[in-house]
Chain A
């Protein structure tokens, strides 16, 4: 447990990291980034929290149950999106051309239109959710290992 100042600053700062991570995930199909990179940014925030608070404190909020639920929902959304395109083929991008996220991107230099890409942004969000849950579970488990306990089943 670091000093009170550090703890309050990390609490405030965590918000910006999560927003920046979500930005990277959401714009995955426009600018460099995507599910894994955005998730990794958010997990760097979780590591910062882990440094500020010791692993027992963090275990109360990011308990093993919360993490496994997040991970399962992320994976199930991803596979459901993949299955939804089964009409044509497995990973078929069925949202292209439809009003949801379906606009055709303009070619040539343009600021980029987020409402394009069909299924890809949704898949990025699902992968981001799963990566945040997975990597923070890894980081938390390693921290708990070194301090002797196990993550309870």
Chain B
């Protein structure tokens, strides 16, 4: 068991990779065996993430050096520069790991029946597992170039999954836009990595943070990192490709793609807090991120109210909810300079933003899956054609209501808990931000009631007379996320204390991150 814990960071990445290439030979034997392989490997990865999380919460940062004589050896032979690829898993990374493991498991179970009628299922699950491995790599790695490689793996497999149903013309166009944007963003990110490597001759985030002097080249590198990663998360001026790609993907793939954009947001936080830390001009970068959050929130939700395609409507909501996270953590970054403001509301702002990542990662995939369930049964995504589906899709109705109340921030459910933290702390920083955030919440509730009214309520339309409830695996997939939402809504204190606050401290405490790499050297 102890060996399993020490090797768990790389096992979490390698097992989905291994399962990805096993799906082809096993898939030839039979669909059932392949499905068992996929779900078993993802369940084992979930188990590994949980034991790794427990180990990190007990005794701090977990280092894993690939290929060294022992996993903790970061500076072999007393060298001053960390050699080899080092996976550094601290409380913030494992926080994202828990989210990604649960959502990918739920999405895989959902896709068992959602994709049952598609041809080429072996390749679908190979790509799905590759995306799981790519995103875990992005979350756990402590090496900038390795972050680029895993970013590209997740993007390529994501684009191929978006365009999986090549019989739809818009699916291929969505996939094409996703891969073009990801390729350009990846190359611009690589340019920034090259700039940093030119100055400090190393790629390891811990070492770079230690040697960083924030020269002009570093400012250019920071902008390239910032913009190339935020375009992948759907920041407002750069978000226009986001709805096109996320509408046309199968519902479970959109659910997972939302979490890959969370991983890109995590990478922005890792670069701003752990790589640059206090050396960067905190107030300006903080204010840039806050304004990005403000714009993203407002434009995202105003565009969402206008949509009539249910998946496009929810993609715009995913964009606007990202605005909350940007604003929360941006406020924390803006006050990173003066410790007294950080203590009063800065830390609460960051934990509010990070808690919102967790909540968003639970209700947004659930909402995408309910939209997928509607598409699965009615064959259309257009809200104008739907009506009265609540009569015969009872479970989807209940799950949709849970998701809607949660995304709109209605008190008992978990959306409210994180928005509450964000409102309170951001108000102290600048009241206008909290006012806009509340306005956006109101419009979110208004738009979701519109979708609820047009899809579920109303008389039973003749053409949907014989619509049955969605098959069992889809309900299980959605049920896992709904259970997560209800648990977080009833015990928010427990979640914030145990999972969110350590992640916030890990993000703020750059010295611990650097010490994990530089201090870990053994002769």
Which A positions have Cβ atoms within 8 angstroms of B?
A: 68-69, 71-72, 75-76, 79, 82-83, 85-86, 88-93, 153
Residues of B within 8 A of A91 (CB): 66-67
A-B contact count (CB 8 A): 47
Residues of A within 8 A of B10 (CB): 89-90
A69, A76, A85: the one contacting B22 at CB < 8 Å is A76
Residues of B within 8 A of A69 (CB): 25
- Residue contact B17 to A79, C-beta cutoff 8 Å: yes
B17, B21, B24, B65: the one contacting A89 at CB < 8 Å is B65
Residues of A within 8 A of B25 (CB): 69, 72
Residues of A within 8 A of B70 (CB): 88-89
Closest beta carbon of chain B to A145's beta carbon, Å: 11
Instruction: Decide yes or no: A93 and B67 within 8 Å by CB, A82-B14, A83-B14, A153-B120 being known contacts.
Output: yes
Closest beta carbon of chain B to A123's beta carbon, Å: 11
- Residue contact A89 to B14, C-beta cutoff 8 Å: no
Residues of B within 8 A of A82 (CB): 14
Not counting A79-B14, A88-B70, a sample of 16 additional A-B residue pairs whose C-beta atoms are within 8 angstroms of each other reads: A69-B25, A72-B25, A79-B18, A79-B21, A86-B7, A89-B7, A89-B10, A89-B64, A89-B66, A89-B68, A89-B70, A90-B10, A90-B66, A92-B68, A93-B67, A153-B119
Chain B minimum-CB-distance residue to A93? B67
Chain B minimum-CB-distance residue to A150? B166
Instruction: Decide yes or no: A92 and B67 within 8 Å by CB, A79-B17, A83-B14 being known contacts.
Output: yes
B interface residues, tally (CB under 8 Å): 19
Residues of B within 8 A of A153 (CB): 119-120
A88 CA to B22 CA, complexed, in Å = 25
Residues of A within 8 A of B21 (CB): 72, 75-76, 79
- Residue contact B22 to A89, C-beta cutoff 8 Å: no
A70 CA to B66 CA, complexed, in Å = 27
A75 CA to B22 CA, complexed, in Å = 9
Instruction: Decide yes or no: A89 and B71 within 8 Å by CB, A72-B25, A79-B14 being known contacts.
Output: yes
Query: Could you jot down 13 A-B contacts, CB within 8 Å?
Result: A72-B25, A79-B17, A79-B18, A83-B18, A88-B68, A89-B64, A89-B67, A89-B70, A90-B7, A90-B10, A91-B66, A92-B69, A93-B67
Residues of B within 8 A of A93 (CB): 67
Chain B minimum-CB-distance residue to A73? B25
Interface of A is mostly: helix
Instruction: Decide yes or no: A90 and B14 within 8 Å by CB, A76-B21, A85-B67 being known contacts.
Output: yes
A28 CA to B450 CA, complexed, in Å = 62
Closest beta carbon of chain B to A119's beta carbon, Å: 10
- Residue contact A68 to B7, C-beta cutoff 8 Å: no
Closest beta carbon of chain A to B37's beta carbon, Å: 13
A82 CA to B67 CA, complexed, in Å = 9
Closest beta carbon of chain A to B107's beta carbon, Å: 23
Chain A minimum-CB-distance residue to B10? A90
Closest beta carbon of chain B to A129's beta carbon, Å: 12
Closest beta carbon of chain A to B414's beta carbon, Å: 36
Residues of B within 8 A of A76 (CB): 18, 21-22
Chain B minimum-CB-distance residue to A69? B25
Instruction: Decide yes or no: A90 and B24 within 8 Å by CB, A79-B17, A79-B18, A153-B120 being known contacts.
Output: no
Q: Enumerate the 5 nearest inter-chain pairs by beta-carbon distance, A residue then B residue, closest first.
A: A91-B67, A75-B21, A90-B10, A91-B66, A72-B24
A2 CA to B66 CA, complexed, in Å = 50
Chain B minimum-CB-distance residue to A88? B69
A82 CA to B209 CA, complexed, in Å = 30
Interface string of B101-122 (1 = CB under 8 A from A): 0000000000000000001100
Per the 8 Å Cβ criterion, residues 12-32 of B in contact with A are 14, 17-18, 21-22, 24-25
Interface string of B298-325 (1 = CB under 8 A from A): 0000000000000000000000000000
Per the 8 Å Cβ criterion, residues 370-417 of B in contact with A are none
Residues of A within 8 A of B69 (CB): 88-89, 92
Closest beta carbon of chain A to B5's beta carbon, Å: 13
A79 CA to B130 CA, complexed, in Å = 13
Chain B minimum-CB-distance residue to A90? B10
Interface string of B54-69 (1 = CB under 8 A from A): 0000000000111111
A85 CA to B65 CA, complexed, in Å = 13
A83 CA to B11 CA, complexed, in Å = 9
A75 CA to B16 CA, complexed, in Å = 13
Residues of A within 8 A of B22 (CB): 72, 76
Residues of A within 8 A of B64 (CB): 89-90
A68 CA to B17 CA, complexed, in Å = 16
Interface string of B16-53 (1 = CB under 8 A from A): 01100110110000000000000000000000000000
A72 CA to B21 CA, complexed, in Å = 6
Closest beta carbon of chain A to B174's beta carbon, Å: 20
A91 CA to B69 CA, complexed, in Å = 10
Closest beta carbon of chain B to A58's beta carbon, Å: 21
Interface string of B347-370 (1 = CB under 8 A from A): 000000000000000000000000
A153 CA to B28 CA, complexed, in Å = 11
Residues of B within 8 A of A90 (CB): 7, 10, 14, 64, 66-67
